[in-house]
Structure 1
Amino acid sequence: MFFFHIERKMEALAAILVLLSVDLLSLGVVQTEGGAVEGLSRSTGLFSSVDIFKGIPFADIPKRWEKPTPHPGWSGVLQATKYRERCLQVNLLQTKTQGSEDCLYLNIFVPQGLKLSMNLPVMVYLFGGAFLLGASNDVEVLGQSLYDGVELADRGNVIVVTVNYRVGTLGFLSSGDQRLPGNYGLWDQHAAISWVKRNIEKFGGNPDNMTIFGQSAGAASVSYQMLSPYSRGLFRRAISQCGVALSPWAHQREPFKLLKKIASKVGCWRTDVDLMISCLKMTDPVGVTMAGKIDVLLLLGKGVVMDLLELAPVVDGDFIPDEPSRLFSNTGQFDYMAGVNSMDGHIFAGVDVPSINKRNGNITEQVRGVLAGLTKERTGPIVDRALDLYSSTWGSPPDQALMKKTVADIETDFLFLVPTQTALKLHANGARTYSYLFNMKTRIPGFPAWVEAEHAEDLQYLFGKPFSFALAYFPRHRDLSNYMIKYWTNFARTGDPNQGESRVPVPWPTFTRTYQPYLTINHQMSKSSVRLACTLQSQYVSFPVIGTYPQVPLLKQRDYHPGLPIQRYCPRPP
């Protein structure tokens, strides 16, 4: 009897060991168009893992201010186990450069279960950074990038791809004509998406079910990729998080002026434009890169931070053949999801009016100054009407905390909300469209109590940081992360955030030209999370520098609900 029990226990142990061996299931060596690659496998559970391939080249080393070209390939097996360098760029403090011109690489995260994955949806991520900086493995903490795709891939059962692209002067400098057309960073993104389309089936992905998504400049890049005629049939869906091509910071309207400025900084100013460009091409790339840096100290008290964000895509007659607002007929083939964070503009407002983050100080005149700087109207009816609109809830005497929040709301509207809502309306003529507002309370310490979801704060939840760094978060953060991953990956799988492999907490209605609901995303989701955008049709405020599309109603600030972070929405459900 004793030996019988021992035998049964040994059989059970053997069975467990067999099951545990499933964790080791991986793709192994994968043959791509350039050659064979082999990555690593990371266990994510008893019967799950994620295959990780880092640093796969999707194009050759780019020549200065030229479109990317195919990679020549390699012999043997490429060990895709380390991130490659970011594209040459200034650092965050604008004090020096980092990265390399040899930078066109991507990373792939493939979830595995009891059997090798096949025909999975594919999500290609484009990073943000004002078209000036950033990388596919940016913001590393304890050896893990903010954009590490393991949690998103594993919990959403999708393949996640993150890509590098050229930024700064090497990615977006332009002469405004065919001599130096610009948009090299957009061409890099296109080359990466095309590489994924051609090769992802070998990794278990469905090349006919691809979604591109991005945040900030990456979100605007997603928008540009949708608008470009070169994207026809390339992917099926797109997600813009806090930025679109219509955003005022996402379109360079005076590229030649900027070219001359950069050339002067590096000693290449010439009256002959061809000679000036030739000089730039022969100049040390580090110097050219540093010439594109921004100096926030020059801004204080003299304007708005948006004026310093000079490097951006241009209308080149090729990748972007016309004004972005005139290209939305190209987007009808794509399902689209777009939204903003409740205080996307706060970080920029804090630069323009530093006192909004201080306990004391009267900022009445500074509110007018911000409106004047954004509208490019120092005086006149535009500023007066905008100020009347935003100050209608201040009370008498004005509540200083509310006034400070108003500055953040103004910049959120101008830089993110109004352009995004306009893009959604222009897209709603075509495929399925969804609008959202992310309004989770900020986790950044030191800010006033009224500060809510900052620019880029959504990313930690989408990429599952509350799970991978569990001790740094609370259960409510994991709830939110879970909700976002479900909505995003359902959308990638089916084109409908409500339908897929994951059950969502609240049905998300579609956005149309005549019916414009949005989903409020936070950790407390219920039927009241669905609301309707509220506009005053009789009040129009034009922001001329946004673009040439028709004037749009500025969403009015209203104190309808004490828990509603952006108060420019109707409180009633649709």
Structure 2
Amino acid sequence: MIHGATLTALFLAIASVNGAISPERLKSDVSIVIQNDLLEAESPHSGSGMIVLDNMDFNRAKSGCQALGESLWGSGGSFSQIQSNLDYLVYQGQHHQGQRYWISPDHRGAPRAINGRGSITRATASDSLPVLCTQTAPYSNETHKDTSSKFQVTVSSNNERITGFRDRLSFRFQGIRYAEQPERWTYSQLYQGSGAEESGLQFGSSCVQGPDTGTEDCLFLNIWTPYLPYKVAHTKKQSLKPVMFWIHGGAFTNGEGSDPTVDGSNLASRGDVVVVSINYRLGTLGFLALDDGQTHGNFGLADQITALDWVRQNIRDFGGDPDRITIFGQSAGAGSVRALLASSKARGKFSAAIMQSNLGGLAYGTTYSHYYTIAEQMDAAGTAILAATNCTDTASPIACLRALPASTIVSLPTTARFLVVDGTYLTTPELDLQHRSSTANVPLLMGLMRDDGAAMIGYPSPNDTLNSFLTSSGVPPSLISPSLFPTPTSPNTTLNIFNTSSHIATDGIFRCIDQATAYAGAINHIFPSVYFYEFNRSYQMPGWSPNPPLCEAPRTAAFPAGDPSAEYFKCHSGELYYVFGNVRRQGLALRDEADLPFEQFVVDSWASFARTGNPTPERGLLVARGYGKVKKIKMPTNITSYGHGWYPPQPADYNSSKPVMQRK
């Protein structure tokens, strides 16, 4: 006769050999809990990772851990390492402090349990207790991911069985299709699974953005999650995690959801959220609008809404709460968030929004916040595209364009990258900040880099004057005002011109429209709460550093990786490593003692906003997770806020009276 415990062990062993393990096979929720104090770096808590399973008896607990390729926690680690994890389980309300959990047996093989206070006691094998398994999956990075069968996990979702894998910090599902490839210049439709087994081990193709980059079959999304539920329909609402839905930037002409800069593993782990990133169609293939009565544009924006629909329909299967989706994006991604706030097609599909460095106002930034009519887009791009492809005088210009290779379209000298008033996805030329019924009524967090505009202009030539350089940069020289934008008097005259121009460009392209949005949104009660920030610390991406090395902390003998306490331009995209907690995941050095606390603070604040609509993390949560020291950073005192005031902190040695790039 085969006893129940033996049968369970046999079943789970077979399950782990024949395919990736799943919550269904384990008959249990599966959670990764780890104190990610140093954001994916070796620390005293590196061994704190554990996998938590639901209540079961001791024999089934052992078999469940074995099916995951793990063992009951405690055979080789110190129990003090997991105290913060136990505290966090109590803080979440999942268990009380006296709750016992299965851990490894003693040296004689007798069952043991640990409670929320860290006390270890003997237990009876028939007791039904939650389970603590080891978590030995390695950290992953851009060049190394262990996707071997030992770490694979399968989730049933959207009428498919999708196999991803776990790394040290989260479960990862990459390259999930949310829409079939649509006919070119038609709107994407929500993908319904075919009942097949699908791989989520590799990222899907990026969307076409160059002759040899990307494909048209590119509508994929990626998920990072710390929690996978078993019986989704019966999962308690409080167990589901907030969802952070990332929309990449790139001028609506480039970028991808798989960019390693914004890998979601650290944010998901430390923030205890589900992170989703998406691809959407770009450039002319994503935004062409013609005056033919059928090609209305905004196809890339519509893709974002289709991806939102997929997430709302399926994210519970990955532990996410469809009623707590925060959309967030930077640059063109922030412009997308702004458009989604305005779009009735997206209304009710997200619960909060974050705009990082939204463009508008002057010069290059205008079209990100003020939307063209189709006629204006024809003047700006459509007519030139049709002429360059000899499609102007054909019976069907759009059919003519569809017959051309994608590589031809993206190689044209003119690109259609503009959001337009198409009458369906966007019905007004800008975000309506006067009438609440016209704009999504959700909490808003927004802001900019201190010197965002420094990336939007070139660098002066030796013969340039301030007037001529602004003119060549597309910025009206009428904005020159010695009282508002004083020109420094250092011996480096070109740097002086660049310094003043960058301040004018930052205010004209970013600050004015973003502060006006926050102000109008607050006083007109468009949004229930508004938080505005400015970063005065940045970590520029090595692969994109405009006007190098001006956007990088200056290197000295004492600070070979750069000295962030010295003055430098805090440029566009300089916050991305901080928001996703990926400085060291990208192999970069912490430049001074404030880099890590600042990074921790930003991750915790963004995740807090997704969780509660307030970027100030709950003190009890920080203490429970062992993150309490994050608060010890001096805040600036010279900034005025609109609505509810909040700003990321400056380094400990920040002096609010320090001149800005020799500004006088």
Scaled by the length of structure 1, what TM-score is found?
Answer: 0.75
Q: Report whether the alignment pairs 1:53 with 2:173.
A: yes
Cross-structure match for 1:369? 471
Q: Give the 5 Å matches for 1:283-322.
A: 283-291=404-412, 311-322=417-428
Measured in 1, the distance between the counterparts of 2:490 and 2:254 equals: 44
Match of 2:340, SS state, is helix
Which residue among 417, 432, 436 is the counterpart of 2:511? 417
Which residue among 618, 638, 658 is the counterpart of 1:562? 658
Distance change >3 Å, CA 291–CA 499, structure 1 → 2: same
Q: Report whether the alignment pairs 1:21 with 2:144.
A: no
Match of 2:327, SS state, is strand
Match of 2:334, SS state, is helix
CA RMSD of aligned residues (A): 3.6
Q: Report whether the alignment pairs 1:212 with 2:307.
A: no
Cross-structure match for 1:30? 155
Measured in 2, the distance between the counterparts of 1:336 and 1:81 equals: 34
Cross-structure match for 2:549? 447
Measured in 1, the distance between the counterparts of 2:600 and 2:646 equals: 19
Match of 1:197, SS state, is helix
* Identical residues among aligned pairs (%): 29
Which residue among 198, 209, 220 is the counterpart of 1:78? 198
Cross-structure match for 2:50? none
Distance change >3 Å, CA 161–CA 508, structure 1 → 2: farther
Q: Give the 5 Å matches for 1:159-198.
A: 159-175=274-290, 178-198=293-313
**Counterpart residue identity of residue 657, structure 2:** H
Cross-structure match for 2:604? 486
Distance change >3 Å, CA 466–CA 252, structure 1 → 2: same
Q: Kindly indicate whether the alpha-carbon contact (under 8 Å) linking 1:331 and 1:427 is maintained by their aligned counterparts in 2.
A: no
Measured in 1, the distance between the counterparts of 2:641 and 2:582 equals: 36
Deviation at 1:23, TM superposition (A): 5.6
Q: Kindly indicate whether the alpha-carbon contact (under 8 Å) linking 2:261 and 2:577 is maintained by their aligned counterparts in 1.
A: yes
Distance change >3 Å, CA 290–CA 12, structure 1 → 2: farther
Cross-structure match for 1:546? none
Distance change >3 Å, CA 491–CA 398, structure 1 → 2: same
Which residue among 118, 124, 130 is the counterpart of 2:245? 124
Which residue among 580, 594, 612 is the counterpart of 1:463? 580
Residues 401-439 of structure 1 deviation map (CA, whole Å, 9 limit, x = unaligned): 443211111222222222211222232222110111112
Measured in 2, the distance between the counterparts of 1:177 and 1:508 equals: 54
Measured in 2, the distance between the counterparts of 1:349 and 1:87 equals: 27
Match of 2:446, SS state, is strand
**Counterpart residue identity of residue 549, structure 2:** F
Q: Give the 5 Å matches for 1:33-44.
A: 33-44=158-169
Greater Cα shift, 220-229 or 67-76: 67-76
Q: Kindly indicate whether the alpha-carbon contact (under 8 Å) linking 1:467 and 1:478 is maintained by their aligned counterparts in 2.
A: no
Measured in 2, the distance between the counterparts of 1:29 and 1:197 equals: 20
Which structure's CA Rg is the greater one? 2
Q: When the two structures are aligned, how many residues end up with a matched partner? A: 481
Q: Kindly indicate whether the alpha-carbon contact (under 8 Å) linking 1:338 and 1:435 is maintained by their aligned counterparts in 2.
A: yes
Residues 311-359 of structure 1 deviation map (CA, whole Å, 9 limit, x = unaligned): 1211111110011143663335111011111121112212xx344xxxx
> Structure 1: 5+ residue runs without aligned partners?
1-6, 45-49, 91-95, 139-144, 295-309, 376-382, 529-559, 569-574
Distance change >3 Å, CA 513–CA 476, structure 1 → 2: closer
Which residue among 279, 303, 313 is the counterpart of 2:400? 279
Q: Kindly indicate whether the alpha-carbon contact (under 8 Å) linking 1:223 and 1:245 is maintained by their aligned counterparts in 2.
A: no
Measured in 2, the distance between the counterparts of 1:134 and 1:66 equals: 21
Match of 1:209, SS state, is strand
Measured in 1, the distance between the counterparts of 2:497 and 2:443 equals: 38
Deviation at 1:178, TM superposition (A): 3.6
Which residue among 378, 392, 395 is the counterpart of 1:269? 392
Measured in 1, the distance between the counterparts of 2:288 and 2:300 equals: 10
Measured in 2, the distance between the counterparts of 1:150 and 1:252 equals: 35
Deviation at 1:277, TM superposition (A): 2.3
> Structure 2: 5+ residue runs without aligned partners?
1-104, 115-130, 138-149, 555-566, 623-627
Q: Kindly indicate whether the alpha-carbon contact (under 8 Å) linking 1:211 and 1:238 is maintained by their aligned counterparts in 2.
A: yes
**Counterpart residue identity of residue 409, structure 2:** V
Cross-structure match for 1:248? 366
Deviation at 1:184, TM superposition (A): 0.3
Q: Kindly indicate whether the alpha-carbon contact (under 8 Å) linking 1:155 and 1:485 is maintained by their aligned counterparts in 2.
A: yes
Measured in 2, the distance between the counterparts of 1:395 and 1:471 equals: 35
Q: Give the 5 Å matches for 1:1-20.
A: 9=107, 19-20=132-133
Q: Kindly indicate whether the alpha-carbon contact (under 8 Å) linking 1:368 and 1:387 is maintained by their aligned counterparts in 2.
A: no
Deviation at 1:20, TM superposition (A): 4.6
